[in-house]
Amino acid sequence: MSGSGWRHVVAALRGRDFLAVADLSPADLHGLLDLAAELKAGRDPGVPLARRSVAMFFLRPSNRTRVSFEAAIHRLGGHPIALFDREIELGRRESVSDVGRILDRYVDGLVARIPSARDLLGLAASMNGPVINAMTDQGHPCQILADCLTVREALGRLEGARLTFVGDGNNVCNSWIEAARVAELDLRVVTPPGYEPNRRDLDRMTGAAPGGQVLVTNDLDEGLTGTEVIYTDVWTSMGQEDQHEDRRQDFGPYQINEDVLGRAPAGVRVMHCLPAHRGEEITDAVMDGPQAIVFDQAENRYWVQLALLTSIFGPETT
Ligand code: CP
Ligand code: NVA
């Protein structure tokens, strides 16, 4: 490949773990998005993963993340090996560090969707090969990379974008908060009382340069003021199924429906990381309506995984 704006990122991320959006500099983030956009526009990525294997842990269900990573690894000439809880039984059949040390003898890297952020760090510490966070209960950085590309496509810019996250202050929200700092977003986080992002994490994620701002509120209309993008996520995340009824009650007033769109600025875009629980956090009318860009957002998972894998595993520069 040859190219320009993204060349730096191919060198900067080579061989590195990708565990959090906060791991990226603004130049890394913009470089990844530039490369993803060029790949989406038709640039041939070559086969930087030829004759290499990448293990993938999916200890929680997945459609978009697994399929986009698996397709991207294959497109880059590599061999993805998907493993599920019944095979790995992480920390039960074998310790986290033993699993990582063994895998390191067989494969060139790991894409891991596991509940525990601590276990993810344990795997990363026990492996020499790069580890990519495919979602923990604390963060979903690959999702937010694709979402940043989607915002940039929809608004024509990322920096200063006014985005309102409506939902639970957990993994997807946490990664948006990190992105607010790296991409200098104007982020509003709207949650029901008791579901705000963890204060300590919030301070840590927003405390450092370069910038951006994060408003946390329980008032949906405050969050909607002047916004350009409404972003929502499920009320009941994977692993929280036993809280479903309580959450339906608590989150009910925060459903993204036509009334809420009517209270937001005209032309506001609607995003959702998916899977959508239609009729809970989002209605069919909004999800299938003209302001929703959720399927473009899902598609962008593939282009961003290609860019990320190329940067981490690819040649220095060509
Ligand atoms: N958005 C997302 O991560 O979807 P999956 O859970 O289907 O991978
Ligand atoms: N918050 C959701 C995100 C799914 C992509 C969950 O953890 O289930």
Catalytic pick among 143, 255, 297, 305: 143
pLDDT confidence of residue 93 = 94
pLDDT confidence of residue 197 = 96
Tell me which residue has its CA closest to atom 8 in ligand 2.
Answer: 237
pLDDT confidence of residue 7 = 81
pLDDT confidence of residue 212 = 85
How open is the CA angle 111-201-112, to the nearest 5 degrees?
A: 10
Tell me which residue has its CA closest to atom 6 in ligand 2.
Answer: 237
Q: Which residues of the chain have pLDDT under 70?
A: 1-5, 201, 204-210, 315-318
Fold of 3-139+301-312: Rossmann fold (3.40.50)
Which of the listed residues 136, 144, 150, 273 should we mutate to test ligand 1's pocket, taking the one with most ligand atoms within 8 A of CB?
Answer: 273
How would CATH label the architecture of 143-298? 3-Layer(aba) Sandwich (3.40)
Nearest ligand to the CA atom of 66: 1
pLDDT confidence of residue 4 = 61
The phi, psi pair for 93, rounded to 5°, reads -70, -30
- Dihedral of alpha carbons 63, 103, 109, 19, sign: positive
List, for residues 149-188, the tens digit of each pLDDT value: 999 999 999 999 999 999 999 999 999 999 999 999 999 9
Q: Is 118 a catalytic residue?
A: no
Q: How far is it, in rounded angstroms, from Cα 52 to Cα 49?
A: 5
* Chain region(s) in the chain for CATH 3.40.50.1370: 3-139+301-312, 143-298
